[in-house]
Amino acid sequence: MSLERLREHRSVWQSKPVLPSVYGVWFRLISGSARGGSVVEIGAGPGFLAEWAHASRPQGLWVATDLLPAPWNDLAADATNLPFRDGAATSVVGIDVLHHLGEPRRFFEEAARVLAPGGVIVLVEPWVTALSYPIYRWLHPEGCDLWLDPWRPFASGSTKDAFEGDAAVAWRILRSAPPALWRELGFEPPRLTVLNGFAYLMSLGFRRGSLLPTALLPLLLGLDSSLAPLARWVGMRVHAVWRRA
């Protein structure tokens, strides 16, 4: 992972006006589910969620952390070894980060430690559906292995690059983990909402160029919303919320 790659993402973000609007839908879900007070963002990367949060919810404390030091984030920190005291946070949030972690269980254990009782983890992650699977499997650089061990998803272990990821990780964890496991980790079973991503697909994400003209953005965002009942078959992301017991 390199700072240059994060700077490239920031450059694409600034050059594609539709991209902040597409991600803004997910940012609002994360912000709306986070408890007020002290919010710790993990995997902040290029810093877009924190910038959006500072502009839209100036009250409270939002600390953007990432494994790689970057001038736009607040702190360099590993999501599985956070430098905060027990019970210091009311929310731990992130977007597109769980599926990059080499040891997801350690993250949930660490989040349980730093969260106050009643605090929440709020994540938006890739989700596997009939539509998204071939896209993540063959058209996305991270891949999508439906049969991986979601608790040890990467053979490279501690030497993995921070950008290495697999779109099936969150899907496998959330489909296979029983309620007893979440209670063992200190959480209530998660609440899940599968989200459509037609606008995201047309925007081409962080690739240069876009198939989504600005004039058609409201139409595609409206399509994402109106087809919500079909998201379990055609969705691209999941909004997941865990509450600290």
Residue 161, pLDDT score:
85
Q: What is the DSSP string of the chain?
A: --HHHHHHHHHHHHH-THHHHHHHHHHHHHHHHSPSSEEEESS-TT-HHHHHHHHH--SSEEEEEESS--TTSSEE-BTTB--S-TT-EEEEEEES-GGG-S-HHHHHHHHHHHEEEEEEEEEEEE---TTHHHHHHHSSTT---TTS-TTS--TTGGG--TT---TTHHHHHHHH--HHHHHHHTBPPPEEEEE--HHHHHHTTTSSS-S--GGGHHHHHHHHHHTGGGHHHH--EEEEEEEB-
Residue 124, pLDDT score:
98
Residue 156, pLDDT score:
67
Residue 151, pLDDT score:
97
Residue 191, pLDDT score:
98
Segment-wise mean pLDDT, segments of 10 residues, the chain, 245 residues: 90 97 98 95 98 90 96 97 98 98 97 98 98 96 95 79 93 98 98 98 96 97 98 98 97
Residue 135, pLDDT score:
97
Domains and CATH numbers, the chain: 3-243 (3.40.50.150)
